Amino acid sequence: MKRYSLKYEITVVGAGPAGLAAAITAARMGKRVLLVEKNGFLGGNMTLGLPLLGFLDENGKRCIAGFGEELVTRLKETGSSYDHRFCPKHNSVTNINAEDVKILAIEMCREAGVDVLLHLEVSGVELTHGKIKKATFYGKCNELTVESDIFIDATGDGDLAYLAGCSYDKGRGERNELMPPTVMFTIQGVDDTKLFDYVAAHPGEMRAACSTIDTKPGYDADYFRSDPNYVFVGMTELFTRLKKEGKCPVDRGNMIIINGLHKGEMYVNTSRLLHTDATDILSLSAAELEGHMQVKALLKTFREYVPGFENAYVSSIAPNLGVRESRRFKGIRTVTGEEALMGLIPDDTICLSGYKIDIHKDSETATLFKTVERPFGVPYGSLVSAEIDNLMFAGRCISVDEDVIGSVRVMPCCMAMGQAAAVGAVLAHNGGVSVAEVDVSEVREELLKNNAMLSQD
């Protein structure tokens, strides 16, 4: 086995939306940064075909900017994003080209001077006096030991924090149910004109699949026809009928498709993998396999029953499961659902979240929506480990409760958290203090210099 030993000032584990923002921000601030990723590409869930949700709030007002806005601007320059559009269901959608994200991510890392290593997963952590001294990574019969002054866990599942022995919560209710993940896939050959003509003639297909989903008026055929930047959630009557007839290929109440940037291209977010724990390798493997089989079944259903999909075909299947929820780690501050629904913006806010509390139920086909009337603040302390002095979280593994994860898990918010975690890490390193001892007013000042949004005033 080959063995390597490296030393960095800041090490970011996970190169999804949060990790990218963290690594690039820290490097731009002059630190020697290592970004470690398990895949052979950068971008995480931004490469699956999912839209960027949450740049705008319930009223169509901007609530996230900073690094995420810079990324979208650069995608727009190459025709790889439709920009932000108000949506009666999702507050806003920002559709992007999934493959172009991979290229841009590399370009931005190289411009900032981030060192990147791929095909590595964290396998061990060495602790000394309440700090992570070293982390060990494994891949392709190579073992890599990284000594770093500060670590940022942006793995989504909190793999680094878990191996460091940090306390965490997972799931909701007595059975600790987790939101079911999805195998995303891309189809070509769709005629959406036929789909929307059908929807216009059958408006019942656009009703919510369950009573907990709130949608503003105007989420209809005219909305989809007026702009290609959309996410379509519908065909409820069809899925209800197919389920009664025993012909529905997945346990859900409608189809979700995201319009691509090329004619006839759609990203599909309709597979549903119940009772999956993405942190358990047996469960994860079973879900990946079942998800691929659902792709085949869904395509057959679409071609047979959904107007405009008669000639559709699968052009790609995402290389990773789209995981909505797993571990949430103990920070020095935990954001609660009550605070979120109040629109509380504490003095130590480092980003806003205006997306709905959007929870996919694991025990049924329903999705629980709770409207966030006005954006709430994500405090600095929710990114800071309560147990490890040099560890920060960014992304869906931060310190929030089972409701708040339904809002902050969307990718623009994750990028905002990554940017903030990097600033905190850099200031801690500059001052020779723990990440918990950083002056949050300085973090906020630096974020504002770089176009982050900390309020809507």
Structure-model confidence comparison of residues 183 and 174, the more confident one: 183
The reported pLDDT for the residue numbered 215 is 83
**Most trustworthy range by pLDDT among 65-74, 238-247, 355-364, 368-377:** 65-74
DSSP conformational letter for 395: S
**Residues 341-352: what's their mean pLDDT?**
97
The reported pLDDT for the residue numbered 252 is 86
Q: Which of 397, 413, 422, 374 is nearest to 53 (CA)?
A: 413
Answer whether residue 365 shows pLDDT above 70: no
The reported pLDDT for the residue numbered 334 is 97
**Residues 287-299: what's their mean pLDDT?**
97
Question: pLDDT tens digits for 324-336?
Answer: 999 999 999 999 9
- Across the chain, mean pLDDT equals 96
Residues 6 or more apart whose Cβ sits within 8 Å of residue 243: 253
91-94/85-87 β-pairing: antiparallel
Beta bridge partners of 62: 56
Q: DSSP states of 337-375 as a string?
A: HHHHHHT---TTEEEEE-S-EEEE-SSSS-EEEE--SS-
**Residues 443-455: what's their mean pLDDT?**
97
Answer whether residue 267 shows pLDDT above 90: yes
**Residues 174-186: what's their mean pLDDT?**
92
Q: Which of 395, 427, 415 is nearest to 331 (CA)?
A: 395
φ/ψ (deg, to 5) at 431: -90, -5
The CATH 3.50.50.60 portion of the chain extends over: 2-176+325-449
Architecture of domain 2-176+325-449: 3-Layer(bba) Sandwich (3.50)
Beta strands in 115-235 (DSSP E): 115-117, 121-128, 131-139, 142-153, 168-170, 185-188, 231-234
Q: Please tell me the pTM assigned to this model.
A: 0.97
The reported pLDDT for the residue numbered 212 is 67
The reported pLDDT for the residue numbered 413 is 98
Question: pLDDT tens digits for 208-239?
Answer: 776 667 788 999 999 999 999 999 999 999 99
Say how many C-beta atoms besides its own lie within 10 A of residue 39's C-beta: 18
Question: pLDDT tens digits for 43-59?
Answer: 999 999 999 999 999 99
Question: pLDDT tens digits for 133-162?
Answer: 999 999 999 999 999 999 999 999 999 999
Q: Is 6 exposed, middle or buried (0-12, 13-18, 19+ CB in 10 A)?
A: middle
- Cα–Cα distance, 235 to 302 (Å, whole number): 10
**Residues 27-34: what's their mean pLDDT?**
98
The reported pLDDT for the residue numbered 366 is 65
DSSP conformational letter for 38: S
The reported pLDDT for the residue numbered 364 is 61
Q: Which of 443, 412, 449, 427 is nearest to 349 (CA)?
A: 443
The reported pLDDT for the residue numbered 174 is 77
pLDDT grade, residue 176 (50/70/90)? confident
Identify whether the C-beta of residue 423 lies closer than 8 Å to the C-beta of residue 443: yes
Strand, coil or helix: 243: helix
Answer whether residue 127 shows pLDDT above 70: yes
